[in-house]
């Protein structure tokens, strides 16, 4: 099967400047009869040596190209305010140059695969070909969820930005090509459901996100003593701020009950003040802004907290924790689209207060929660492994 892959970001073994890890690992363990040629805008700016390494590891060729857009002058002349008047998100208006379109058509590919929500316009340049469009999230769902948060409702500028983006992405997704020759691929079940509500006639498919960062799958899971090691992973930003702030307030209020059982690490940017506040009341807390080897740092811990308030698709850092044997305690949004079950292979909490209640219970029955962590690792390694996910994905091309 001959596949031409059109993408904003050049695939790479980890996320650099965008979601480059996901397509890389879909391609890494692809069926042997799938021959791929990549045309990339290289918006993540991989170097020539990095691109050569990807070509060698994935056994394919990459061509870096440019795309033109009727709205380029808005960006070139710093007229960003004019984006308010566009019907769709600005990157939707980019198109491949005609010579590139002709070159691709002359290859007579069996399938053209596009990666990016805003590539629907580009894929319309190839209406006569079978196409697979990886979104991979329904971005309208993201803006819909953000609209209901205190973060948006308490700030009129943020509220306005959310409304504007919701309308733009809604229009774009409503106008996706519904022809028989195009298939849509997402990594979220709720994303699929929401997209089908927007555009009921689309051929929408859910394929789990592959997991690819693994240290030691045979490591025995035993929580640390005398204090269990708790991890908050990821940037402190609006995706998690609302629930996390509530959780920190509860941690401070229950310092006497919890500080004797837990030491806390914050791995990511923006946590400086949070750490100071916890240290001030007596917690053993530290901050690591950047870890040269992320997974090696993660596996030093026992439990990961994921207090995500806004999100769609699958959260890579949650998969990383589960696959490497950490017990994940998180919100429903943190654990959606991952093949785990509450109280069996993870702990799903409705709110910050429930997370605190769980943290109080864990030291009383450590063995129970070590077993849940073991179950979580088994589920992710089974249902999110590269070969299974890649096969399921490339079955969409048939």
Query: How many structural domains does the chain have?
Result: 2
Q: Are residues 379 and 389 in the same domain?
A: no
Give domain status of residue 167, yes or no.
Answer: no
Residue 152 has pLDDT above 90, yes or no: no
Give domain status of residue 373, yes or no.
Answer: yes
Residue 30 has pLDDT above 90, yes or no: yes
Residue 40 has pLDDT above 90, yes or no: yes
Residue 43 has pLDDT above 90, yes or no: yes
Residue 77 has pLDDT above 80, yes or no: no
% the chain with pLDDT above 90: 86
Instruction: Return the DSSP state at 342.
Output: B
Residue 395 has pLDDT above 90, yes or no: yes
Other C-beta atoms within 10 Å of 165: how many? 17
Residue 313 has pLDDT above 80, yes or no: no
Residue 215 has pLDDT above 90, yes or no: no
Residue 79 has pLDDT above 90, yes or no: no
Q: So what's the pLDDT on residue 117?
A: 92
3-state secondary structure of 150: helix
Give domain status of residue 334, yes or no.
Answer: yes
At 328, give phi and psi (nearest 5°): -100, 125
Q: In this structure, are residues 43 and 150 in contact, taking their beta carbons and an 8 Å threshold?
A: no
Q: In this structure, are residues 369 and 304 in contact, taking their beta carbons and an 8 Å threshold?
A: no
Give domain status of residue 79, yes or no.
Answer: no
SS (H, E, C) 85-101: HCCCCHHHHEEECHHHH
| Residue scoring higher pLDDT (58 or 151) | 58
Mean pLDDT of 5-19: 94
Q: So what's the pLDDT on residue 73?
A: 81
Mean pLDDT of 25-39: 96
Q: So what's the pLDDT on residue 24?
A: 97
Torsion of CA 175, 393, 374, 260, to 10 degrees: -30
Q: In this structure, are residues 202 and 195 in contact, taking their beta carbons and an 8 Å threshold?
A: yes
Tokens of 395: 């079955």
Q: Are residues 348 and 304 in the same domain?
A: yes
pLDDT tens per residue across span 343-393: 999 999 999 999 999 999 999 999 999 999 999 999 999 999 999 999 999
Q: Are residues 192 and 48 in the same domain?
A: yes
Q: How far is CA 361 from CA 221, 365, 366, in A?
A: 18, 7, 9
Q: How far is CA 247 from CA 251, 263, 356, in A?
A: 6, 15, 7
Buried b (16+ CB within 10 A) or exposed e, 214-246: beeeeeebebeeebbbbbbbbebeebbbbbbbb
Residues 6 or more apart in contact with residue 193 via CB below 8 angstroms? none
Other C-beta atoms within 10 Å of 138: how many? 27
Q: So what's the pLDDT on residue 148?
A: 86
Is the four-CA dihedral 74, 78, 80, 85 of positive or negative sign?
negative
Q: So what's the pLDDT on residue 33?
A: 95
Q: So what's the pLDDT on residue 342?
A: 98
CA distance 75 to 88: 15
Mean pLDDT of 137-164: 91
Q: Are residues 186 and 309 in the same domain?
A: no
Among 76, 58, 60, 59, smallest CA distance to 68 is for: 76
Give domain status of residue 124, yes or no.
Answer: yes
pLDDT tens per residue across span 272-293: 999 999 999 999 999 999 999 9
Residues 6 or more apart in contact with residue 249 via CB below 8 angstroms? 352
Q: Which domain holds residue 35?
A: 2-69+91-137+172-210+385-397
Is the four-CA dihedral 70, 73, 78, 82 of positive or negative sign?
negative
Residue 312 has pLDDT above 90, yes or no: no
Q: In this structure, are residues 226 and 206 in contact, taking their beta carbons and an 8 Å threshold?
A: no
pLDDT tens per residue across span 157-205: 999 999 999 999 999 999 999 999 999 999 999 999 999 999 999 999 9
Q: So what's the pLDDT on residue 142?
A: 93
Q: So what's the pLDDT on residue 11?
A: 97
Q: Are residues 243 and 258 in the same domain?
A: yes
Q: Are residues 270 and 188 in the same domain?
A: no
Q: Are residues 310 and 240 in the same domain?
A: yes
Instruction: Return the DSSP state at 209.
Output: P
Instruction: Return the DSSP state at 352.
Output: H
Q: So what's the pLDDT on residue 315?
A: 81
pLDDT bracket for residue 32 (50, 70, 90): very high
Q: Are residues 359 and 347 in the same domain?
A: yes
Give domain status of residue 181, yes or no.
Answer: yes
Q: How far is CA 29 from CA 113, 317, 322, 324, in A?
A: 17, 21, 21, 21
Give domain status of residue 43, yes or no.
Answer: yes
Q: Are residues 200 and 263 in the same domain?
A: no
Q: So what's the pLDDT on residue 254?
A: 96
CA distance 379 to 124: 38
CA distance 16 to 46: 8
Q: Are residues 188 and 48 in the same domain?
A: yes
Find the angle CA(250)-CA(254)-CA(260) to the nearest 5 degrees.
Answer: 130
Q: So what's the pLDDT on residue 173?
A: 97
Provide the mean pLDDT of the chain.
94
pLDDT tens per residue across span 110-134: 999 999 999 999 999 999 999 999 9
Q: Are residues 292 and 392 in the same domain?
A: no
List the CATH number of the domain containing 379: 3.40.50.2000
pLDDT bracket for residue 72 (50, 70, 90): confident
Give domain status of residue 78, yes or no.
Answer: no
Q: In this structure, are residues 309 and 243 in contact, taking their beta carbons and an 8 Å threshold?
A: yes
Q: Are residues 110 and 253 in the same domain?
A: no
DSSP string, 10-40: PP-SS-SSSS-HHHHHHHHT--TT-EEEEEE
Tokens of 264: 């806390």
Tokens of 234: 């990821």
Instruction: Return the DSSP state at 116.
Output: S
Among 221, 205, 210, smallest CA distance to 382 is for: 210
Tokens of 90: 């600005």
């Amino acid at each position: 099967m001959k596949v031409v892959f059109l993408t904003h970001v050049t695939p790479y073994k980890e996320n650099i400047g965008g979601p480059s890890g996901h397509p890389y690992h879909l391609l890494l363990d692809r069926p042997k009869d799938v021959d791929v040629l990549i045309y990339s805008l290289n918006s993540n700016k991989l170097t020539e040596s990095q691109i050569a390494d990807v070509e060698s590891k994935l056994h394919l060729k990459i061509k870096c190209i440019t795309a033109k857009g009727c709205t380029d002058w808005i960006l070139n002349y710093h007229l960003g305010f004019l984006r308010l008047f566009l019907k769709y998100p600005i990157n939707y208006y980019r198109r491949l140059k005609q010579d590139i379109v002709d070159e691709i058509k002359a290859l007579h590919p069996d399938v053209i695969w596009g990666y990016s929500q805003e590539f629907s316009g580009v894929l319309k340049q190839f209406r006569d070909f079978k196409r697979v469009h990886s979104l991979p999230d329904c971005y309208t769902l993201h803006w819909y969820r953000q609209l209901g948060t205190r973060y948006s409702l308490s700030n009129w500028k943020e509220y306005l930005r959310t409304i504007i983006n919701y309308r733009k992405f809604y229009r774009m997704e409503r106008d996706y090509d519904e022809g028989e020759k195009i298939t849509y691929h997402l990594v979220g079940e709720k994303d699929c459901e929401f997209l089908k509500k927007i555009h009921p006639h689309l051929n929408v498919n859910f394929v789990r996100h592959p997991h690819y960062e693994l240290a030691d799958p045979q490591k025995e899971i035993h929580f640390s003593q005398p204090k269990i090691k708790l991890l908050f992973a990821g940037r402190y930003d609006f995706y998690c701020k609302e629930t996390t702030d509530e959780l920190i307030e509860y941690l401070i209020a229950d310092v006497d009950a919890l500080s004797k059982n837990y030491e806390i690490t914050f791995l990511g940017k923006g946590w400086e003040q949070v750490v100071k506040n916890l240290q001030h009341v007596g917690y053993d807390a530290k901050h690591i802004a950047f870890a040269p080897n992320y997974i090696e740092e993660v596996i030093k811990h026992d439990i990961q907290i994921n207090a995500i308030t806004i999100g769609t698709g699958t959260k890579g850092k949650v998969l990383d924790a589960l696959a490497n044997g950490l017990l994940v305690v998180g919100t429903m949004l943190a654990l959606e689209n991952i093949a785990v079950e509450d109280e069996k292979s993870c702990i799903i909490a409705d709110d910050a207060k429930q997370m605190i209640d769980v943290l109080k219970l864990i030291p009383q029955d450590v063995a129970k929660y070590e077993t849940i962590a073991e179950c979580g690792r088994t589920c992710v390694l089974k249902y999110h492994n590269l070969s299974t996910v890649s096969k399921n994905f490339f079955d969409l091309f048939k």
